[in-house]
Amino acid sequence: MIAITGASGHLGKATLEFLLNKTSPESIVAIVRDPQKVTEFADKGVIVRQGDYNDQASFAASLADVDTLLLISSASLGDERVHQHSNVINAAKEAGVKHIFYTSAPNPSTTALFTPAIDHFRTENLIIESGLTYTIFRNNLYMDILPMVLGDAAQSGKLHYPAGAGKISFALRTDIAEALANALTSEGHDNKVYNIGATTAWSFSDVADGLSQNGKSVEYIDIPNSAYTTELEKHLPAPIAKMLAGMAEAMKQNDFNLPSPTLEQLLGREPISLEAYLKTLA
Ligand SMILES: NC(=O)c1ccc[n+]([C@@H]2O[C@H](COP(=O)([O-])OP(=O)(O)OC[C@H]3O[C@@H](n4cnc5c(N)ncnc54)[C@H](OP(=O)(O)O)[C@@H]3O)[C@@H](O)[C@H]2O)c1
């Protein structure tokens, strides 16, 4: 059986949808905190079990008879997140899971500007040390986060953001989900670490060009990270402001500039391009 954690989230639900095209619902376990969030999958015959990343014992019970586990990284940050992931990895060992897939981030390291990549570095090491067979998907930034970053740029004609000329190999979340479902149901991924993203990379000037539609042009204006940070801190809790400011600086330093053929290979087709995605926002 294949189990998916975070099955009530965007990536989890999309992966479940693709998995249902590949294998029978009775061989899929959706692990969630709140079963009410995945009734549409229960109705299709998917096994729904409760599990909280904070509770290792209950998680081990929810992994009974599971061979392959997709651990979708928690939405928490820092030590709390690593502790949660550690609980799931320990529960997987306890329950006899053979293979763990994990959703990581590009360029994980102890000094990453994008602070979640520090948690991913620590989690990847825990997974490798666990002795379980692993497959790590270092997912690039979702295209889907762009609306949050773009604000009213398409209307105002000005895109203010501190990413300099840095490039990002964005991937659409549903493309990542489809690739995960394909990998979870195929051979050849033992102890592999994949950079998951586009075969190319785009700068924020490219984003502005892609937004320039219907005769209205959008100009990218690179702003200082300090000004962006000050603005974020007015509206958001400090750790989130720090994470978002770090993400922009990491973009500028090309930490997400990782063109790779792997996503295309796993999909068996070209991933959705940034240009195509931005057209859907118009
Ligand atoms: N690459 C990127 O650009 C990017 C962007 C955003 C996030 N991410 C990472 O990728 C992950 C998946 O993305 P997403 O879009 O699917 O995020 P999402 O929609 O926020 O889903 C997060 C999932 O994690 C579950 N979860 C959180 N805390 C949990 C806990 N203590 N125990 C069990 N489940 C818990 C949530 O359950 P509930 O429904 O119960 O809350 C939800 O199902 C995120 O969690 C984050 O680590 C990556």
Average pLDDT for 267-275: 97
Q: Whose CA is nearest to atom 46 of ligand 1?
A: 75
**Chain centre to alpha carbon of residue 26:** 26
pLDDT interval class at 281 (50, 70, 90): confident
Asked if pLDDT for residue 109 goes beyond 80, the answer is: yes
Q: What is the DSSP letter of 113?
A: S
Asked if pLDDT for residue 282 goes beyond 80, the answer is: no
Whole-number pLDDT of residue 64: 96
Average pLDDT for 240-248: 96
Average pLDDT for 35-54: 98
Whole-number pLDDT of residue 153: 92
Q: Whose CA is nearest to atom 2 of ligand 1?
A: 141
CA distance 92 to 130: 9
Q: Among residues 208, 125, 214, which one has the least CA distance to residue 159?
A: 208
Whole-number pLDDT of residue 216: 86
Whole-number pLDDT of residue 215: 76
Average pLDDT for 103-124: 98
pLDDT interval class at 46 (50, 70, 90): very high
15 lines ligand 1 (CB under 6 A): no
- The percent of residues above 70 in pLDDT, for the chain, comes to 100
- What fold is seen in the domain 2-140+173-197+259-271? Rossmann fold (3.40.50)
| Mean pLDDT over the full length of the chain | 96
Q: Among residues 262, 264, 182, which one has the least CA distance to residue 17?
A: 182
pLDDT digits (tens, 9 = 90+) for 76-101: 999 999 999 999 999 999 999 999 99
Whole-number pLDDT of residue 254: 98
Long-range contacts of 185-191 (CB under 8 A, 24+ apart): 185/2, 185/19, 185/22, 185/23, 189/101, 189/135, 190/99, 190/133, 190/135, 191/133, 191/134, 191/135
User: Which whole-number Å values give the CA distances from 260 to 169, 257, 273, in the listed order?
Assistant: 8, 10, 13
**10 and 173 Cβ atoms separated by less than 8 Å:** yes
11 lines ligand 1 (CB under 6 A): yes
Average pLDDT for 148-167: 94
Q: Whose CA is nearest to atom 40 of ligand 1?
A: 33
Kindly report the number of other CB atoms within 10 A of residue 68's CB atom.
22
Kindly report the number of other CB atoms within 10 A of residue 178's CB atom.
24
pLDDT interval class at 66 (50, 70, 90): very high
75 lines ligand 1 (CB under 6 A): yes
